[in-house]
Amino acid sequence: MERLVSIGEAASVLGVSITTLRRWEASGRLTAEHTAGGHRRYDLAKLRPELFHAVESENRKTVAYARVSSHDQKDDLERQKQMLELFCVRQGWTFEIVADLGSGMNYHKKGLKRLLDAIIEGQVGRLVITHKDRLLRFGAELVFAICEAKNVEVVILNQGEDTTFEEDLAKDVLEIITVFSARLYGARSRKNKRLLDDLKKAVEGADA
């Protein structure tokens, strides 16, 4: 007996978002019936996850992600991009590169947000990075868990220590200090300025 379910139930059965379901319908991969009120209904018997995901996997892209913390590391960003491009080309993969310039503690970077949205929407089949800290300083494991749930292969070229760890970490710490000291003392206060100057000297001295 035919059983019709709502778009939310259909998305849940297939393990995708409602947006992805609508995209499949627009491309003709999925057909919906419509109620008198104009609501979509899907035949539960035709919602076979293994079939939809098999086709989707073939169409998903490889994304190579690169990041540095600040403008003075642009040369390092270019090196990362070249390394990622060379690796992907050698593997014969069709790919695109997403690059960010910002702290590894910033979860609101445009490139990272675009990457995560694409992963969640089921558009990414493989993520390639030079080192896990290029993704996020803290919290990379959470992104990896999302990748696992979405059947995204994660390729990390360098499993060892990140060569720019100390420099990046120092910049990230300074960013945190700047934000919190501004909140505590006011961005224009003399006390805030002295605090930042002293901490910058300490961090620069430790990095030298």
Q: Which of 27, 69, 70, 189 is catalytic?
A: 69
d(CA 32, CA 41) in angstroms, rounded, equals 6
Catalytic residue at 189? no
DSSP state of 1: -
Tokens linked to 42: 């899907």
Burial zone of 195 (CB within 10 Å; 0-12 exposed, 13-18 middle, 19+ buried): middle
CB-CB contact of 152 with 126 (8 Å): yes
Residue 2 amino acid letter: E
Tell me phi and psi for residue 43, to 5 degrees.
-75, 115
Beta bridge partners of 126: 62, 153
In terms of phi and psi (left: phi > 0; alpha: psi -120 to 50; beta: otherwise), the region of 122 is left
Mapping DSSP to helix (H, G, I), strand (E, B) and coil, where does residue 169 land?
helix
Which of the residues are catalytic? Answer: 69
